[in-house]
Structure formats: structure tokens, C-alpha cells
Amino acid sequence: DGGITQSPKYLFRKEGQNVTLSCEQNLNHDAMYWYRQDPGQGLRLIYYSQIVNDFQKGDIAEGYSVSREKKESFPLTVTSAQKNPTAFYLCASSMTGDTEAFFGQGTRLTVV
């Protein structure tokens, strides 16, 4: 099936550890995005990439890093520098940077 796959669905980490969230799409989309969702808040953009080997910071990039070595993959690393990493993380993709976005199922990260 075509779509966006995020894994794992639930992730637990100890404070101070880096953790990488996976996002893969087989839609042949050029653009990919990472959002963070907290209770009672709207989605906030962390990073986005409009083309392979290129990415830009979103509104809340501090404490996160990304890579875009392949068109279909856009992993997000939550580093120990992120002060409040526990959240629901959503990956999205779109055909281009100017077309509608499709979201994955999300990864719920809990840092203890």
C-alpha cells in the first residue's frame, strides 16, 4: 500500500539519550515534514525538506536534527538538548512544497 510509515508507534527513552524516529514514504513525494503535537496545542513544525540533501528549520527546531539522504526517508533525531521531548511526533509528505500534505500515524515518544 502507498503511504507514510512512522515507526515505532510508541517509544520510551531515558533522559539524556538521543533517539531517532523513522519516517518512510513510498508516494514519490519530494517534500517531507516533521511536526510535534502536544496536548491542547496545534501542530508545530520542527523541520522540513523540499528535496533530497536539503532541509530547513521550522518553528521549533532547537534540540532536533534531521537528514534527507534518500527521497523516501526523513528520520528525526531528538537530542538530549531538547528540554521537553515527551510528545506525539508526526511526519508528513507532499508532492511538492506547494501541494497538500499527507500525515503518517505518528510516534508517541516518552522520555523518563
Partner 1 sequence: GENVEQHPSTLSVQEGDSAVIKCTYSDSASNYFPWYKQELGKGPQLIIDIRSNVGEKKDQRIAVTLNKTAKHFSLHITETQPEDSAVYFCAASRKTGANNLFFGTGTRLTVIP
Residues lying near partner 1 in the complex (CB under 8 A) are found at: 4, 6, 9, 31, 33, 40-45, 48, 50, 56, 58, 90, 92, 94, 96-106
Q: Are 100 and 93 in contact (CB under 8 A)?
A: no
- Calculate the alpha carbon distances from 2 to 8, 25, 26, 49 in Å: 18, 8, 6, 20
In the complex, minimum distance from the CB of residue 82 to partner 1, in angstroms, rounded to a whole number: 20
In the complex, minimum distance from the CB of residue 32 to partner 1, in angstroms, rounded to a whole number: 9
In the complex, minimum distance from the CB of residue 85 to partner 1, in angstroms, rounded to a whole number: 19
Cβ proximity to partner 1: between 69 and 98 the closer is 98
Cβ proximity to partner 1: between 30 and 80 the closer is 30
Query: How far does Cα 9 stand from its chain's mean position?
Result: 13
Angle at 80 (CA atoms; ends 53, 86), nearest 5 degrees: 95
Cβ proximity to partner 1: between 41 and 84 the closer is 41
Host H or E run for residue 107 = strand 107-111
